[in-house]
Structure formats: structure tokens, C-alpha cells
Amino acid sequence: MGLQCFVLSGNAQDMGKNLDSEPNQTMEIDQGEKSSKNLGKIVVGGKNFTEHYLITHMLRLVLEDEGFEVEERRDILTKVIRKQLLRGEIDLYWEYTGTGYRAHLRQNDPAVYTKGDVLYRTVKEMDRKHGVIWLKRAVFHNSFELAVTEAIAKQYQLEKLSDLAPLLTQSQWIFGIGKSFYVRPDGFLKLVQHYNWPVQNIRVKKMSYSVVYGALNRGQVTVGMVFTTDASAKHHRVHILQDDRSFFPIYNPAPILREETFRAYPNLVQRVNQIPPLLNQSTIVDLNYKVDYEQQSVEQVAQEWLKQTGVLE
């Protein structure tokens, strides 16, 4: 599984140093059949988890159907993908409103990031100044959550994240945290500060989000980071700890692109904007489930859904 394990110590503000050396892993996907018309080449970027594989491939399929030549790149880290967009290495990718506001624009107002409509309007307006255009957002919200097993929750009477603070003063707890979330400026280290958890008793195992539930149930970690749209929740009985101090923002995904791309390809914008309003919470959980548990391919699931919804013929 390739877990990385270490203990947090020292000033939490200094704990993120020397972590930006993680390589940018990209994978070029072979191009499929293209329309007979060619409107130009578009490079679509994607992050490194099932949900993002799916919605990224949806972009590729509708753009190829429109007549673009499309190169799809997967497995780009959150801290890297925005830079690639601004440098013109990719033309389009899905970003989450909370990530845009907290991680990229470095804003931190709970009155904004806890209200979906306000947050979307804010990032859209602020990013326009950076030459970045946000298209329509998806209906679903995919946030981070911290979970424990039901047995641990019962043993320690855990209901919310602030309940962990007194326990962490007494003994060491192991947190299973996604690699990208650990190094983000709005990530785990900020969460530790936000809840005033004593760092000396926090041991971190960095792991893929896909293995967190298994690690919780096997006792390899005490607390695990999960997603609200993760299909694994259907298979594993865990207790989600309430974010009672409102650390996590709303995370609605929306395709974003540079302004020059937006102006150059109005037909691109029109086709891409067909997708987000159709993606609600139950839909994305079901699509994730088909890939992660029914072992269907990302390509098959994305194409079938686009056809079912009428986005593709």
C-alpha cells in the first residue's frame, strides 16, 4: 500500500515545509475516435481520484463530440493543476469552489465558504481578475470528513471534531490522511491548528483515499479522512465526526479555464455547461460506486451516463 508514516511535532505552521517536492504524476490518455471536424486541440486536466477521473473524462467526451481534438491528463495534484492551467499547459479542468477559495485564492471567511451560492459567486468574481473563468457548477457537494469506527465512537463518546482535543492530550492517535490534503495550504495542518489539537500525539499515515475505510476497520488508523461522495460509505459502517467549528468549506465542482480559451471557443463553453447541472449528490455517488465496486471502467461509466442524460447521442 506504500503508506508513509511519521509523527507531527513542533510548530504547526512549520510542519508543511519540504513537502512540495512530491512529483507531479500525469498520464496522457490515448485519444479515441474524433469527429470529422476539427476545431482545435484542447488539453483537459484531471486530479487523482475516481470522481475526478469520471468528470474529467466527461469533458473529453463532449468536447470530442463537438469536434475538438482532446488530450486528457490524469493524476495531477491539486497544488500543481492550477499552476498548469495558468501556464497554459492545460486548458480546462474541474475545480472545487472551496479549494479555489481557500487553497488558491487564500481566503478564509466562514461567512463566505460555508454558503454555497455566496462562495461560488465570490470565487467566480475574484478569479476573473486572474484571467480564470468559472463555468456552471455541479449540484453535488464533495467535502472532506473525518471518520472513526462505530466502536471507537462509542468507546470515547465521539460526536464532533472538537471532542478529539482532550483525548489527544492523553495518548497518541493515528490519522489516515490523503497525500494531497496533507500538503495543501488549507489542509490537514491548518485543521490541526483550527481545532487546537496537540501535535505531539498526532501520528500521520499518508495514504490513498481509496484505502482509508479498510485501514480504519483493520485498526491501522484511528481517524480517517473520507469524502462525502465516496461510494465506500455504502460498504463500511463508520461514524462521521461533525465539523462543529466550520473548518471545511462547501466544495461544488465547476469546470474552469483561462479567459483566452473562454473567448476563443464559445461552442466549448456551451457544450461543457450542459454537464454540471445534471450532476447531483446521488448521481455522483452511484457513478463512483460503479467504478470502485462494480469494477466498470471510468470510460464506460462516463459515456453511458452522458448518453442516458442526452448530453451525448
Pairing of strands 92-96, 69-74: unpaired
Pairing of strands 202-207, 27-29: unpaired
28, with CB counted inside 10 A (0-12, 13-18, 19+), is exposed
Helix (H) or strand (E) holding 174: strand 173-178
pTM: 0.79
* Alpha-helical runs (H) found in 67-115: 78-87, 97-99, 110-113
95 Cβ neighbours under 8 A, 6+ residues apart: 81, 82, 104, 134, 253, 254, 256
> Vertex 154, ends 285 and 237: CA angle to 5°?
25
CA distances in angstroms from 251 to 21, 107, 116, 143, listed in the order given = 26, 14, 8, 6
Q: Which domains does the chain have, with CATH numbers?
A: 4-20+144-241 (3.40.190.120), 31-142+250-308 (3.40.190.10)
Residue found under cell 480517517 = 224
Pairing of strands 253-258, 202-207: unpaired
> Taking Cα atoms as reference points, which of 27, 73, 65 lies closest to residue 46?
73
d(CA 43, CA 85): 10
Query: How do the pLDDT tens digits run along the chain, 313 residues long?
Result: 444 444 454 433 333 333 233 334 334 444 444 445 678 999 999 998 899 999 999 999 999 999 999 999 999 998 899 999 999 999 999 999 999 999 999 999 999 999 999 999 999 999 999 999 999 999 999 999 999 999 999 999 999 999 999 999 988 999 999 888 887 777 899 999 999 999 888 999 999 887 899 999 999 999 999 989 988 876 788 899 999 999 999 999 999 999 999 999 999 999 999 999 999 999 999 999 999 999 999 999 999 999 999 999 9
